[in-house]
Chains A and B, each alone.
Chain A
Amino acid sequence: MAVATVEQAVRDWEVAEEQVGLWQDAWVRFRRNRLAVFGAGLVLFLIVVAVASPLLVNLGILKNPFTQHVDSIQTAPGVNGFALGTDILGRDTLSRLMIGSAVSLTVGLLVQGIIFPIGLTIGLTAGYFGGRVDNLLMRFTDIWYAFPDLLFVLVVVSVWHLDGPWFIQLIPIFGAIALVNWVNLARLVRGQVLSIKEKEYIEAARSSGSTPVKLILKHLLPNSLGPIIVTLTFGIPQAIFLEAVLSFLGVGIRPPQPTWGQMVYDGYEAIYANPTAVVFPALAIGFTLLSFTFIGDGLRDALDPRMRR
């Protein structure tokens, strides 16, 4: 009987002092940030658009982005049934924008998927074991920092082409952007590991006989996850930006696949005839990047324990 009472008491106590974990707490704080929620909403909307637009084209609800309507070239928005007008070849701007969103989102999200394992492994190794690996990494990043990102990506993409559909053509672009960006993550992880390594609970875990693998997986990794997520989120707009610049400069994905950067360039060529052909893709790029920045800011505020009340 007595045991049951104690259990009851413990359970009551737990309910009264409800524990809120880091992630739950972060989620509550993220939701309170209106700009971050707005950004997340816009990104979700974009993902839906990217997935749905090929279907809509197949169903005939959306105009085909490749069809050239020769009788309505460079029309203003709303003319001849083109909601956002047409470009210099008479293609529907709205459907090109919607189809093109897939390219930007794929670049932004997938590049982080490549960077994450590379930066994490190297950063963890360098930070945990120190010594020669660490020294090598730091020297390497010093050199890497001397190489301007954009120049490197431009050179790589201009010499390495792959033919095929747009996601095949994207592979060198992924590679180039990941190559210039993993260093940032590796440096961050290394810094995190170096500071966490000195904490008392790591000392405690080590003295109670934890192996290095267990230390890394159970303590170092979860405790540095917050800043890693924030860095990866801020890497998304960076990658989208680089892809858009490549397309704008004419070395990205080749036509006729629409990408936003290329649409800005095409519209720019004939800007006096129809300025809206520049404005819509330009705003699409700008607001997408802005949304990811808002999400990044929100995550940083939510995951930074120093900010907690």
Chain B
Amino acid sequence: MAVIAGRPKRGALLPVGLTRLTESRAGSLAFYVVRRVLWMIPVVFFVIVITFVLMHSAQGSPWDKAGGRQLSDVVIRNLNEKYGLNKPVFEQFFLYIWNVLHFDFGLSYQYQGKTVVELIGGGWPYTATIGVLAFLLIVPVGVGLGILAALRQNTRVDYATMGFATFAASFPNFVIGALMVVFFSVLMYKWTGGDFFLPAGGWGVDDHLIMPAVTLALLPIAYTARLTRASTLETIRQDYIRTAWAKGLPERLVVIRHVLKNSLIPVVTTLGPTFAFLVTGSVIVETVFTIPGIGRAFVVAVTSRDYPMILGTTVLFSVVIAVANLVVDVLYVFIDPRVRLS
């Protein structure tokens, strides 16, 4: 992507920030999207190769710890037969790729008789709910804090916001989650005699969603706030902002119409990494708060060496991240009329 300096199109001042695409731009965008989608194929292929090689170069077999006891040789032979593990590794690999192309990710080793697609489908609603909630927190809170800090630069508000951002960015999310459970579940319960507290884990009522979503959102909020602050500081020193002040616009309008819209453009680029973080963060948050989502399923699969499940979730996660990055890049073209795709 290259930014071509020049006269911004009139569309840049539209409230939503969506510019109409000229015909040539639409053509290059379509070409770009197609190329990026095609590039995803080798990427996913290599992710499968790496994971596959890793798993098959491991010592022992998936049946070592099955049921917590030593299985007899006959049983192990039958299991290998059933799951095709007695075939040469290359044959297994090509069989797997072939099946993936038919959207068949195999049978789980751990949950007998369940397919990987079923298991992932079962965990998906939980992971998606927490992820969407966190995302809805990240954008308004992160952007709001960043703009607030920038407009009150070098005041206590600024220092407090940035101090919070530094803490939130440094403390790992499982540490934040555990500390929140200590405070909101254990201590609050003691202090209020059980009148007010948040559940430490599980699923069911809305209370269950609060702590996981906040834990997952804190780090991206910190990054978004820092970046928004930096880009807002840059924006408010521009000539057009001085013009806006000079023509007597009230602060509210200067901020909403001119500062906000222009300082948000770089923030859009962080949405891709944020999405990737939400995906990997689900692994930790779902473990801390015992939520039966995909992240938890991945951890269980890793500790019990459920190969098809590990492969399935890894492929899913990398596809989700790749798609999210693509969407963000395309979104960027719509928001900033100066951006050209190469």
Is A124 among interface residues, defined by CB-CB distance under 8 A?
no
Interface of B (DSSP majority class): helix
Are B178 and A268 neighbours in the complex by a CB distance under 8 Å? yes
Shortest Cβ distance from residue A161 to the other chain B in the assembled complex, whole angstroms: 7
* Residues of A contacting B178 in the complex (Cβ-Cβ under 8 angstroms): 264, 267-268, 271, 278, 282
Are B303 and A148 neighbours in the complex by a CB distance under 8 Å? no
Identify A271's interface contact among B166, B167, B181, B276, CB under 8 A.
Answer: B181
Interface residues of B in 29-66 (CB under 8 A from A): 39, 42-44, 46-47, 50-51, 54-55, 57-59
A36 to B310, CA, bound (A): 41
Are B179 and A244 neighbours in the complex by a CB distance under 8 Å? no
Interface residues of A in 253-284 (CB under 8 A from B): 261, 264, 267-268, 271-272, 275, 278-279, 282-283
* Residues of A contacting B42 in the complex (Cβ-Cβ under 8 angstroms): 143
Interface of A (DSSP majority class): helix
Is A150 among interface residues, defined by CB-CB distance under 8 A?
yes
* Residues of A contacting B200 in the complex (Cβ-Cβ under 8 angstroms): 271
Are B47 and A285 neighbours in the complex by a CB distance under 8 Å? no
* Residues of B contacting A275 in the complex (Cβ-Cβ under 8 angstroms): 182, 186-187
Are B299 and A154 neighbours in the complex by a CB distance under 8 Å? yes
Is B116 among interface residues, defined by CB-CB distance under 8 A?
no
A160 to B179, CA, bound (A): 31
A290-B283 contact, Cβ under 8 Å, with A148-B276, A159-B57: no
Identify B43's interface contact among A143, A151, A264, CB under 8 A.
Answer: A143
Is B321 among interface residues, defined by CB-CB distance under 8 A?
yes
Is A119 among interface residues, defined by CB-CB distance under 8 A?
no
Are A278 and B182 neighbours in the complex by a CB distance under 8 Å? yes
Identify A249's interface contact among B43, B54, B279, B299, CB under 8 A.
Answer: B299
Are A142 and B182 neighbours in the complex by a CB distance under 8 Å? no
Is A286 among interface residues, defined by CB-CB distance under 8 A?
yes
Are B179 and A147 neighbours in the complex by a CB distance under 8 Å? no
A193 to B200, CA, bound (A): 50
Are B287 and A249 neighbours in the complex by a CB distance under 8 Å? yes
Is B126 among interface residues, defined by CB-CB distance under 8 A?
no
A142 to B326, CA, bound (A): 13
Is A237 among interface residues, defined by CB-CB distance under 8 A?
yes
Shortest Cβ distance from residue B330 to the other chain A in the assembled complex, whole angstroms: 17
Identify A286's interface contact among B43, B171, B187, B314, CB under 8 A.
Answer: B171
Identify A146's interface contact among B59, B174, B187, B318, CB under 8 A.
Answer: B318
Interface residues of A in 212-249 (CB under 8 A from B): 237, 241, 244-245, 248-249
* Residues of B contacting A147 in the complex (Cβ-Cβ under 8 angstroms): 47, 50, 314, 318
A146-B47 contact, Cβ under 8 Å, with A159-B55, A271-B186, A279-B179: yes
A142 to B321, CA, bound (A): 13
Interface residues of B in 138-176 (CB under 8 A from A): 166-167, 169-172, 174-175
A272 to B188, CA, bound (A): 12
* Residues of A contacting B172 in the complex (Cβ-Cβ under 8 angstroms): 241, 244-245, 285-286, 289
* Residues of B contacting A267 in the complex (Cβ-Cβ under 8 angstroms): 178
A283 to B170, CA, bound (A): 11
Cβ contacts A to B, 17 pairs, < 8 Å = A146-B46, A148-B276, A151-B313, A154-B302, A155-B54, A159-B55, A245-B174, A249-B283, A249-B284, A249-B287, A264-B174, A271-B182, A278-B179, A282-B179, A285-B172, A290-B167, A293-B166
- A-B interface, 5 closest residue pairs, ranked by CB to CB distance from nearest: A159-B58, A286-B171, A290-B170, A275-B182, A282-B175
B interface, CB within 8 angstroms of A: 39, 42-44, 46-47, 50-51, 54-55, 57-59, 166-167, 169-172, 174-175, 178-179, 181-182, 185-187, 200, 276, 279-280, 283-284, 287-288, 298-299, 302-303, 305, 310, 313-314, 317-318, 321-322
